[in-house]
């Protein structure tokens, strides 16, 4: 009898030692939660880093394409004029945050006829500057529009013409241009984002052509 009781106690002891106590289960769950949290955090950081890198690459590509496009359109600028109210008017109109001109290079169709180009700068709700471009074929009302650059601290145009003083070798820059007969010799585009400033200048054709 005592021998059987001893066997039962041994079996019962083995059965109890094979399981987990409530404390051990709680500790295991906490450790598992910590491991999952660490892994999830690492994955989140990695994903965020990749996403930021992709956004940066996309922004740089957009910047390169936009600058190349602006240069192409300005270099292909044709100083067309029009007859309006018995007087000759220039299509070229320059403001600090707006630029209108005619070009034989289109954003959508390349070198196919003359288009009236309008660059305009708009400020969004966060106070950032965005550059848009509008286009329509000269004499046609249908307008196409797209955004070129977004999220800048400053975007503006400057216009360089002949020196106001003939004895001065350097040409003066102005933030507007309104002349029914002449176009500026150069247009400067200024872009600022944080500590990064980028400026480029494009020379223009000067000989006017009248559209009747």
Region label for 73, one of left (φ > 0), alpha (ψ between -120 and 50) or beta (otherwise): alpha
Both tokens of 115, joined, read 């288009």
Determine the Cα angle at 140 with ends 97 and 202, to 5°: 35
Order the strands of the 186-193 sheet from edge to edge: 173-174, 154-160, 186-193, 196-203
pLDDT at 66: 92
Helix (H, G, I), strand (E, B) or coil at 18: coil
d(CA 212, CA 81): 9
pLDDT at 9: 53
What does each of the 212 residues of the chain score in pLDDT, given as a tens digit? 555 555 545 445 544 455 668 777 788 788 888 888 788 777 677 666 556 555 666 777 889 999 999 999 999 998 887 777 767 788 899 999 999 999 999 988 877 778 999 999 999 999 999 999 999 987 788 899 999 999 999 999 999 986 444 444 456 788 999 888 788 999 999 999 998 899 999 998 765 554 45
pLDDT at 167: 47
CA distances 173 to 93, 108, 148, 176, Å, are: 15, 31, 24, 9
């Amino acid at each position: 009898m005592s021998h059987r009781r001893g066997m039962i106690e041994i079996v019962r002891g083995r059965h109890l030692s094979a399981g987990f106590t409530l404390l051990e289960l709680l500790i295991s769950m906490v450790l598992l939660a910590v491991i999952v949290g660490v892994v999830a955090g690492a994955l989140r950081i990695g994903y965020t880093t990749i996403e930021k890198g992709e956004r940066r690459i996309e922004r740089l590509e957009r910047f390169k394409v936009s600058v190349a496009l602006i240069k192409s359109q300005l270099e292909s600028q044709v100083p067309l004029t029009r007859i309006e109210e018995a007087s000759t008017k220039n299509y070229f109109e320059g403001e600090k945050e707006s630029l209108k001109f005619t070009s034989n290079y289109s954003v959508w169709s390349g070198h196919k006829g003359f288009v009236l180009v309008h660059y305009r700068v708009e400020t969004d709700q966060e106070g950032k500057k965005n550059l848009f471009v509008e286009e329509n074929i000269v004499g046609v009302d249908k307008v196409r529009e797209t955004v070129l650059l977004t999220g800048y601290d400053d975007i503006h145009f400057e216009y360089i013409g002949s020196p106001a003083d003939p004895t001065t070798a350097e040409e003066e820059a102005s933030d507007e241009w309104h002349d029914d007969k002449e176009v500026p010799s150069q247009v400067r585009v200024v872009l600022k984002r944080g500590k990064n400033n980028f400026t480029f200048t494009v020379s223009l054709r000067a000989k006017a052509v009248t559209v009747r």
